[in-house]
Amino acid sequence: MIQINLLPHREERRKQRRIEFYVMAVLALISAIVIVFIVGLIISNEIEDQTQRNDFIKTENAKLDEQIKEIADLRAEIDSLKARQQAVEDLQGDRNLPVHLLDELVKQVPEGIFLLSSRQTGSKVTLSGYAQSNDRISEMLRNLGNNSPWLDSPDLVEIKSATIGTDKRRVSQFTMNVNLRRPVAEKAKDAAGASGKPATPAAPAATN
């Protein structure tokens, strides 16, 4: 038997296609929402991880800053202790310098010179006195500059004519500066005495 469809099949097909389109659109929208959500979740996790790393770096930097500050304080304290130790060593090493100064003056001042005063300021010693002649002063300058391991760099500050005594004898009045130093050999000897080891001989050298 032959069946004939008298229903509007074209309209039915259009309706079916619209339904399929709506379903596909809804599915695409849902898929897009799911993808956006997943991507947003991934990005959020990445941001959170990066934030945690940044916080960790900040914390470690703060710890490093504290350690650097402690190291700087320790270095300053060490430098201060070294300065104190050096000051004590200088005081111990230089306590005999006045004795050596007087001993060298006795050795190096030639006859015909009378010292009136000696004044020490740091390593500089100022000498003043009378001399029978300018040649005596020149000889004294040479002796202090070349013959003494404890004195060097003599410098004549002033020389002038003067009279002394009841007979008004004419002399040369002078003022000179000279540097007081500690020979390296003496320093090595002091250090060896403190450590109990023999000192190594060394040539004299000035200490600034």
Report the distance separating Cα 87 and Cα 81, nearest Å: 10
Sheet holding 124-131, edge to edge: 113-121, 124-131, 169-180, 151-164
Tens digit of pLDDT at every position of the chain (208 positions): 555 555 566 777 888 888 888 889 899 999 999 999 999 899 989 999 999 999 999 999 999 999 999 999 999 999 999 888 887 777 666 677 788 888 888 888 898 899 988 888 878 899 999 999 899 999 999 998 888 888 888 999 999 988 887 888 889 999 999 988 876 544 444 554 545 444 444 433 433 3
- Per-residue burial over 9-25, b if 16 or more Cβ lie within 10 Å, else e, is eeeeeeeeeeeeeeeee
Give the list of residues 6+ apart from residue 132 with CB closer than 8 angstroms, or none: 112, 113, 171, 172
Going along the chain from its start, the domains and CATH numbers come out as 96-195 (3.30.1360.100)
pTM of the predicted model as reported, rounded to 2 decimal places: 0.46
